[in-house]
Structure 1
Amino acid sequence: MDQQMDIYVNEEGPFGYSGKRKSLAKSSENIYESLKSNRTGPALSVAEDVKKSSCRAAAVCLGVLCLLLLTGLITLVCLFIKGNSEWEMKMVLLHNSFTNLTQERDQLQTSFTNLTKGRDQLQTSFTNLTQERDQFQKRVEDMANEIIDFRKKLQDQYNKQGWVYFSGSFYHVSSTKKSWQGSRDDCVQKGADLVIINSREEQEFMRRFPKPRWIGLTDRETEGRWKWVDGTLLSQSYWILSEPNGHMLRDEDCAEISNHLFNSWNDDLCNSEKFWICEMTSLL
């Protein structure tokens, strides 16, 4: 208070009023600036530090974000390039597969075409063969009918000459008597030979001729070894009980059918004169 009063008094004094007032004003301004600087100096410093820290943090975050974006971009580019390469590889593989499948399809189409042609040719050949078969079968049937007709005519002709047909052969029974060799010679002159009995059915057929008749069986070459006139050895025989016995009593080397029994063969002297039976094998 005393200073203020002194200052005021000095301002109010008549001497040096303006100079003292100016100096007082300057002093007051200096004091205000000093107080102001003392009050705001530390606050401004802290604010500037905070602002700088925030800028640094923002810059760091921005840098990190940029780095992350760059990393992500590079990763995306790498993935895109890798995916594009894999896609291109798949496209190449698919193209190759498509090309191979196209070639296989063309080959299969060609094979199918060839098989179709072959099938058509086979069908044509089969049709032709069927027609030829039918024609051949018709010719065979015609020939068979002709053979039957010819056989009937031949049988009729042979029947008129005294021949009898049975199971593929014609048989002629003589009306005169001759020796075994004379009988055979007569059969040969007729284009036949003495009968050869090869089956039970033929033996049964011979029973229709009950009189003793020469057959084409002899053992003149080797005693006891009976052979047919065609050179085959006797296998199935129909001898009468105790026959043949020519080697025991006399030289009976020729065979005859002597009676109507089923087992009716007998051996006798070849010079004996008997009826005989000729057999001529039919070619029809």
Structure 2
Amino acid sequence: MEDGEDFGGVSDRSYNKLVSQEEPTPEEQEFFANQGKQKVSMSLMRPESSCNHYQRLTFLAVFAIILLAVDIGLGVHYNKLTSGQRFLTDMNNELDKLQTSYNAATQRKTEANKLLAKETSEQQLAKWELEHQSRKIKDYAKLTDEIRLQTAGLKAHMPMIKEGCRHCLPGWTFMCSRCYFFALSDDLLNRPWHAARQFCMKHGGDLAAVDTREKHLAMIELVNIYHDSSRSFYQSGFWIGLRDVEQEGTWKWLDGKRLAGSYWNDGEPNNQGNEDCAAMYPRSNPFKSWNDASCTHALKWVCEMTPNTAS
């Protein structure tokens, strides 16, 4: 126990000695006193101040995050707007290019339409001219055929003219042992049936009596050759000496003989408008060449007379 006490005493003396040796100055004592007060003050205020400070830091952090998010959003939105603006600008540029191309294409189309219209007009004109030339060629071919036919008729008619010089008056044709006059000249205007008969009687004959097949075929051949093709069909007939004035439907020649063989066209005679006189018309079918007509109608005519005795 003594040892312990000694140890304790020695210790206390040593500590007191150390303390006494490091005893602070008045300034240090004042400093330590103030530090002690601050520690006490801080120890008294720490829990509540720490909580408020943490809340403020948290609020500031959240607010900063919100500001950052807003800033990021605004940046993204601005980038989108900028991209959209650039896109609109590019689109406007493309539209301008397309509009320019469209205008150029429209101009080319207009010019092409004008050229097409001109070409179409020229083509139509050429088509009409071709049709005109084709008609002329057909007319020339028809005229050539008519001239050829007339030439052949004249060649066939030459012997009859030669014989007519011996047996008939000038201008009359000798055939089938009779003399015939065809009123073909333009100087001899169309006449009614009675006026045509008076012409024939004045020259020593009468309207022709076509009372045999041979006479009919010879006469219709000359009518077909020499008729005026420019006249209408109803103006191209030739009066013959046949009528039914005494009794309708009873046709007689001028010498009083009743008609035996006839060459009426289909549906003729039909007596439309009191048609009592007969006429011969140019037809390709010689067996359908007669029509009845009004005696007052003006036509050409065929005269017949007895030939002179040959010397």
TM range (shorter): 0.3 to 0.5
TM-score in terms of structure 2 length: 0.40
